[in-house]
Structure 1
Amino acid sequence: MKTEDGRQTAGIRPQARQQRKWAVAVLAVAVLACGFYWMRARGGETPVRTVPVMSVTAATVVVQDVPVRLRANGTVTARQTVDVRPQISSTIRAVHIKEGDTVKAGQLLFSLDARMDEANLKKVQAQVTKDEADLANARRTLARTKQLIAEHFVSQSALDTAQSAVDSLTAQVQADRAAISASQVAVDYNQIRAGIDGRTGAINVHPGSLVTPGGAPLVTITQIDPIDISFTLPERELAELQAARAGGPVTVTATLGNTGQTATGQLSFIDNAVDSQTGTIRLKAAYENRDAKLWPGMYLNVAVTGRVLKQVTVVPPQAVLTGPDGKFVYVIGADRKVTARPVRVGYVEGKLAVVEGVAAGTRVVQEGAENLRPGNLVAEAARSGADAQAGVQANAAPAAPSAKTP
Structure 2
Amino acid sequence: MISTTKNTSSSRRRKILIAILVIVVALLAWRFWPHSGNHAGAPGGMGGMGGHGGPGMMSGMATPVHSGQVTTADVPVYLNALGTVIPNATVTVTSRVDGQLVKVFFTEGQKVEAGQVLAQIDPRSYQATLAQYQGDLSENQALLKSAELTLARYRKLFAQDSLSRQDLDTQIATVGQYSGTIKADEAQIAAAKLNLEFAKITSPIAGRAGLRLVDAGNMVHSTDTTGIVTITQTQPAAVTFSVPQSNIPVLLKSLHSGQSLPAIAFDQEGSSQLAEGSVQFISNQIDTSTGSVALKALFANKDEALYPNQFVNLRLQTGTLKQATVIPAQALQLSSDGSFVYVINKDLTVTRKEVKTGPTLGETQQAILSGVSAGEQVVTEGIDRLSNGSKVKVITAEETKAAGGSAKAQ
Please, which runs of 5 or more residues in structure 2 have no aligned partner?
A: 1-34, 44-49, 405-410
Q: Deviations over 1:44-72 (max 9, x none)?
A: xx932385986655322212221211111
**Which residue identity does 1:226 align to in structure 2?**
P
User: Aligned pair 1:227/2:231, yes or no?
Assistant: no
Give the equivalent residue in structure 2 for 1:48.
Answer: 52
Secondary structure, in 3 states, of the residue corresponding to 1:301?
Answer: strand
Which residue, 65, 76, 81 being the options, matches 2:85? 76
Which residue, 169, 181, 187 being the options, matches 1:172? 181
Whole-Å Cα distance in 2 between the matches of residues 216 and 35 of structure 1? 98
Determine if contact 2:356/2:371 at 8 Å carries over to the other structure: no
Which residue, 97, 110, 113 being the options, matches 2:119? 110
Determine if contact 1:331/1:341 at 8 Å carries over to the other structure: yes
Structure 2 length as normaliser, TM-score?
A: 0.76
Which residue, 264, 274, 278 being the options, matches 2:276? 264
Q: 1:305 to 1:87 in 2, by over 3 A?
A: same
Give the superposition deviation at 1:271.
Answer: 0.8
Whole-Å Cα distance in 2 between the matches of residues 79 and 35 of structure 1? 86
Structure 1 length as normaliser, TM-score?
A: 0.77
- Report the more deviating stretch, 309-318 or 65-74: 309-318
Give the superposition deviation at 1:360.
Answer: 2.3
Give the equivalent residue in structure 1 for 2:367.
Answer: 354
Give the equivalent residue in structure 2 for 1:241.
Answer: 251
Q: Deviations over 1:288-308 (max 9, x none)?
A: 122222222121111111222
Secondary structure, in 3 states, of the residue corresponding to 1:296?
Answer: coil
Determine if contact 2:77/2:359 at 8 Å carries over to the other structure: no
**Which residue identity does 2:134 align to in structure 1?**
Q
Whole-Å Cα distance in 1 between the matches of residues 253 and 36 of structure 2? 86
The 5 Å alignment of 1:2-401 reads 47-49=51-53, 51=58, 57-212=66-221, 213-245=223-255, 246=257, 248-257=259-268, 260-323=272-335, 325-332=337-344, 339-349=350-360, 351=363, 352-355=365-368, 356-374=370-388, 375=390, 377=392, 380=395, 382=397
Give the superposition deviation at 1:238.
Answer: 0.5
Task: Give percent identity, aligned residues only.
Answer: 32
Whole-Å Cα distance in 2 between the matches of residues 138 and 56 of structure 1? 110
**Which residue identity does 1:227 align to in structure 2?**
A
- Report the more deviating stretch, 126-135 or 55-64: 55-64
Please, which runs of 5 or more residues in structure 1 have no aligned partner?
A: 1-30, 40-45, 384-394, 401-406
Whole-Å Cα distance in 1 between the matches of residues 216 and 36 of structure 2? 113
Whole-Å Cα distance in 1 between the matches of residues 265 and 355 of structure 2? 30
Q: 1:169 to 1:91 in 2, by over 3 A?
A: same
Give the superposition deviation at 1:262.
Answer: 4.2
Q: Deviations over 1:349-389 (max 9, x none)?
A: 25332222223233323345345445265664749xxxxxx
Q: 1:379 to 1:49 in 2, by over 3 A?
A: farther
- Report the more deviating stretch, 255-264 or 122-131: 255-264
Q: 1:359 to 1:137 in 2, by over 3 A?
A: same
Whole-Å Cα distance in 2 between the matches of residues 144 and 275 of structure 1? 79
Q: 1:156 to 1:333 in 2, by over 3 A?
A: closer
Determine if contact 2:114/2:204 at 8 Å carries over to the other structure: yes
RMSD: 3.4
Whole-Å Cα distance in 2 between the matches of residues 34 and 161 of structure 1? 151
Q: 1:362 to 1:33 in 2, by over 3 A?
A: same
Equivalences, count? 354
